[in-house]
């Protein structure tokens, strides 16, 4: 499998429910970031978690990172119709911190009103 | 809130022609990136640019591609001798401090090669 694979590939839930998406990666990382992409738009940064952090919160978002399992999860609580989008994890593996992000395959989230 | 802007939003070009995609990064950012996303696929890194030079490039970024920061505000991606497989969304991004800080993305240029 490739660096940064999310599962599930697609998720449909009722508005108000919680949505959980998972990301696995293969190499050592400096940080892991989650981005949202609405259809036809650019990526919007949601949250960054560093390799020495285990959990981070931002509003309705909760991200966990388990470096021993090389995995991360994104939880969106109390989902809203506006949360419908694709969600990508991205890892920074660089030695110098100025290079690329490697994106996962994404989870397409649909919130049913 | 400052944002990254990209022009044009959609570019249609005949195969073999050259295209220039333009980006205006956020003004106080120092790191600039181009990514592409072929329809239905993941976002792929092309190149990063810092201190007026390329800091890293992917295997995709071959001699067909070049980047330039011609002035203090614009950041361009040039694709020479375009091929059908160059059709994709091209995203510009910028960051204050490399990949260890959030990258801010533009809305992309949809490039269609005919």
Calculate the CA A36 to chain-centre distance. 8
Cβ-in-10-Å burial (0-12, 13-18, 19+) of A53 comes to middle
What burial letters (b/e) apply to A61-93, b meaning 16+ CB within 10 Å?
bbbbbeeeebbbbbebeebeeebbbbbbbbbbb
What average pLDDT does chain B have?
A: 93
B104 interface with A at CB cutoff 8 Å: yes
Residue A110 domain flag: no
Domain count, chain A: 1
Segment A64-83, tens digit of pLDDT: 999 999 999 999 999 999 99
Q: What is the CATH number of the domain that holds A48?
A: 2.60.40.10
CB distance B107–A102 less than 8 Å?
A: no
At A2, the pLDDT band (50, 70, 90 cuts) reads very low
B57 interface with A at CB cutoff 8 Å: no
Domains of chain B: 5-113 (2.60.40.10)
pLDDT of residue A4: 67
Helix, strand or coil, per DSSP, at residue B85: helix
pLDDT of residue A78: 97
Task: Name the residue range of residue A17's domain.
Answer: 5-105
Could you tell me how many CB contacts below 8 A there are between chain A and chain B?
71
Indicate if the pLDDT at residue A3 is higher than 60: no
Q: Residue A32: closest CA among chain B residues belongs to which residue?
A: B100
The stretch A18-45 carries a mean pLDDT of 91
Chain B positions touching A33 (Cβ under 8 A) are 102-103
At B70, the pLDDT band (50, 70, 90 cuts) reads confident
């Amino acid at each position: 499998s490739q660096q940064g694979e999310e599962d599930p590939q697609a998720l449909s839930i009722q508005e108000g429910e919680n949505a959980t998406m998972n990301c696995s990666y293969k190499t050592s990382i400096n940080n892991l970031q989650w981005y949202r992409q609405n259809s036809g738009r650019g990526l919007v940064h949601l949250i960054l978690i560093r390799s020495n952090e285990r959990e981070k919160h931002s509003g309705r978002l909760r991200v966990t990172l388990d470096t021993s399992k090389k995995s991360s999860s994104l939880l969106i609580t109390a989902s809203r119709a506006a949360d419908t989008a694709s969600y990508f994890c991205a890892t920074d593996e660089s030695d110098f911190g100025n290079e690329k992000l490697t994106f996962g395959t994404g989870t397409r989230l649909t919130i049913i009103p | 809130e400052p944002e990254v802007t990209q022009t044009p939003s959609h570019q249609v070009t005949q195969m073999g022609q050259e295209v220039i995609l333009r980006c205006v990064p956020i003004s106080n950012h120092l790191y600039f990136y181009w990514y592409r996303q072929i329809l239905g696929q993941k976002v792929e890194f092309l190149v990063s640019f810092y201190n007026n030079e390329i800091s890293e490039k992917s295997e995709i970024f071959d001699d067909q591609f070049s980047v330039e920061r011609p002035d203090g505000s614009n950041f361009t991606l040039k694709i020479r001798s375009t091929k059908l497989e160059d059709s994709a969304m091209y995203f510009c991004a910028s960051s204050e401090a490399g990949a260890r800080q959030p990258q801010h993305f533009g809305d992309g240029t949809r490039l269609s090669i005919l």
